[in-house]
Amino acid sequence: MSWLRSASTSAGELVDVELAGGVIAQVIPATGLRGLCSENPGDEDLAGHVLLPSFAEPHAHLDKALTVSRAPNPAGDLLGAIQAMAGIADTLTHADTVARAERALRIHLALGTTAVRTHVNVGGPIGMRALEALIEVRERWRALIDVQLVALVSVPLSGQPGKDLRQALKEGADIAGGAPHLDPEPERAVGICLDAAGEAGVPLDLHTDETLNPGMLTLATMADLVSRTGFPHQVTASHCVSLGVQDAKTQQRVSEAVANANIAVVALPQTNLYLQGRAHPTATPRGLTAVGALRTAGATVAAGGDNLRDPFHPVGRGDALEVAALMVTAGHLTPGAALDSVTAAPRAALGLPPVSLSPGAPADLVALPAADALDALGAATEQRTVWRAGQVVARTTVHSSVANPQQLEGAAP
């Protein structure tokens, strides 16, 4: 049992939070007993800190993470990134993949993320090598981070990639994946992925319509098939960029179909703002899904970082608060809704129990210096304390020293 004393909630209220047995035991108004923290091991004085649910990353690529120096993408577009990764495929050994994935998880955990869903390439030149490496990582890190593995296969799904998908699910992937919009028969490809997931009894998470081409809208096909078949497992559509360039009526119709099918949508502002729109030098589209229409329709909209310093996004930081800030700036969400997109919404998309500052909730938390959630989102440093199941699993301290104006008086120009 331990206490987190004098913490600020997202609304700015001061509370004491008791942790016991990996969950939140009670939340009471702050008693001011901060001095007891030094006497009780495990207690924390969180005066001046906001306490939030820990972050969840709904869409990562741990098998590609931290390769940007080895795989440059001069074109800066999606095709260039794919080609760059293909060019270093023979260097992506088991040991290399494990080392980079674990380094990426340390970055995520230090910044407050305790759940990561990662897509992993299977089939083709890489075979099942990356999947085997990430299964090893998933098991080793199980006590610290929930890691979910999505089998990401190439195209055409009607050929060997479809067989690779089924094989990957047999070998330990948690979720069926793919990118049907890249397939010569996109609508058929959606059905193949759905069938594979259904046969294996696992969720489905597809790269969907990662293009500004308004003629590509496999999201609508996906919603229709999920509804008509009564697919019983969780379904997630990631990217959904082309929905953002549809007319308002189409956005509304498709968004309502997505909500009715209970499909969660993952927006990926960092990577899609980087990759998309390069063919539009004027009035450049944002390369972001129709966040507003989807939320109005009642769909779950989560947000993720996608790529961590690889050719798909060379400057990814692994910080959910940076993603949330972009959802404010580019997605026009309120700060509160943006924080929800990196906490509650992704946990729902990943099938994880919700976390809140209430009794019985999992004690997966993050504290950072701030007065409230808005302050945390607008001015957060890397200084964070992270709890997983009630135990501190990461702590980062930042110290800054800035000169006072008086110190410079009389100094030589």
The yes-or-no verdict on residue 412 having pLDDT over 60 is no
pLDDT band at 409; cut points 50, 70, 90: low
Residue 213 pLDDT = 95
Q: Would the pLDDT of 380 be above 90?
A: no
**Band of pLDDT at residue 34, cut at 50, 70 and 90:** low
HEC string for the chain: CEEEEEEECCCCCEEEEEEECCEEEEEEECCCCHHHHHCCCCCEECCCEEEEECEEEEEECCCCCCCCCCCCCCCCCHHHHHHHHHHCHHHCCHHHHHHHHHHHHHHHHHCCEEEEEEEEECEHHHECHHHHHHHHHHHHCCCCCEEEEEEECCCCCCCHHHHHHHHHHHCCCCEEEECHHHCCCHHHHHHHHHHHHHHHCCCEEEEECCCCCCCCCHHHHHHHHHHHHCCCCCEEEEECHHHHHCCHHHHHHHHHHHHHCCEEEEECHHHHHHHCCCCCCCCCCCCCCCHHHHHHHCCCEEECCECCCECCECCCCCCHHHHHHHHHHCCCCCHHHHHHCCCHHHHHHCCCCCCCCCCCCECCEEEEECCCHHHHHHHCCCCEEEEECCEEEEEECCCCCCCCHHHHCCCCC
**Mean pLDDT of all residues in the chain?**
94
- Considering the entire predicted model, what is its pTM? 0.94
The pLDDT, as a whole number, for residue 381 is: 87
Q: Does the annotation mark 187 as catalytic?
A: no
Region 55-349: CATH code: 3.20.20.140
What are the residue ranges spanned by the domains of the chain? 2-53+356-396, 55-349
Catalytic residue among 210, 256, 382, 409: 210
Distance CA 288, CA 302 (A): 12
63-110 residue pLDDT tens:
999 999 999 999 999 899 999 999 999 999 999 999 999 999 999 999
Per mean pLDDT, which range of 15-19, 31-35, 313-317, 391-395 is the poorest? Answer: 31-35
- Does position 36 have pLDDT exceeding 60, yes or no? no
282-309, pLDDT tens digit by residue?
Answer: 999 989 999 999 999 999 999 999 999 9
List, in order, residues 6 or more apart from 2 with CB less than 8 Å away: 18, 19, 20, 40, 41, 42, 43, 44, 390
CB 369 within 8 A of CB 48: yes
Residue 413: pLDDT above 60? Answer: no
Same fold, 2-53+356-396 and 55-349: no
Q: Give the pLDDT score at 142.
A: 96
Percent of the chain with pLDDT over 90: 88
For the cut 80, the answer to whether the pLDDT of residue 408 exceeds it is: no
pLDDT > 90? residue 28: yes
Q: What is the pLDDT of residue 373?
A: 87
Pick the CATH number of 2-53+356-396 from 2.30.40.10, 3.40.50.300, 3.10.310.10, 3.10.450.50: 2.30.40.10
Residue 160 has pLDDT above 70, yes or no: yes
